[in-house]
Amino acid sequence: MAKMTRAQRAQKICNELNGVRNFMTERARRFVDSCELMTIESEFGKAYDNGEDLEEVADDLADEWGYVNGFPEICTYMDDEIRESMHPEYVGATDKEFLQEYVRRDPDPDFREILENEFHVYIDD
C-alpha cells in the first residue's frame, strides 16, 4: 500500500470524523457541546491512528459521560409519578444517575428486567 500524503491522511481523518460526528450526534445528542466535541474529535483521531474500533471508542465516551443509549424510550416504561417527582432534583443529572435513582425509588422488578433485556442496561444495587 502506497504511503498517504499528509493531505490525503488529513482528508481521510476528516471523512471519518464526519461519519463519527453524525454517529455521535445521533447517539449522544444530549451531551455534545463544543468542548466535548473537541474531546470526541481528539479521541477519535487517536483511535483512528491506532486502528481502534471507533464504535467502541464511542461507547467508552458515552459510558464515561453517563449517557444511556435509548434513554428517551426507557422513560416511556417509567412510572410517571416517580419520574416527574425526580425532575426538579435531577435536572442536571446524567442518564445513568437518573436511572440509578429511579431504580432505587421504583421497586418494580419488571422495569429492571426491561432495562436489562430490552436495552442491555444494568444498574448496580
Residue 90: per-residue pLDDT:
85
Query: How far is the C-alpha of 66 from the C-alpha of 107, rounded, in Å?
Result: 22
Q: Please report, in tens digits, the pLDDT of each residue of the chain (125 residues total).
A: 567 677 777 667 666 666 655 555 555 554 545 555 566 667 767 776 777 776 777 677 666 666 677 788 888 999 999 999 998 888 878 888 899 999 999 988 899 999 888 888 888 76
pLDDT score for 20? 59
The cell numbers describing 16, all together, are 471519518
pTM: 0.55
Q: Are 96 and 68 contacting, i.e. CB atoms less than 8 angstroms apart? A: yes
Among 111, 38, 97, 41, which Cα is nearest to 67's?
A: 97
82 Rama sector, left if φ>0, alpha if ψ -120 to 50, beta otherwise: alpha
Q: What is the per-residue pLDDT for 93?
A: 82
**Where do the structural domains in the chain lie, given as residue ranges?**
6-64, 71-119
- The pLDDT, as a whole number, for residue 70 is 79
74 contacts 119 by C-beta, under 8 angstroms? yes
Residue 102 confidence (pLDDT)? 93
The rounded distance, in Å, linking the Cα atoms of 95 and 80 is 16
Kindly report each contact of residues 45-49 with a partner whose C-beta sits within 8 Å and lies 24 or more positions away, as own/partner.
45/13, 45/17, 48/13, 48/16
DSSP assigned state of 68: -
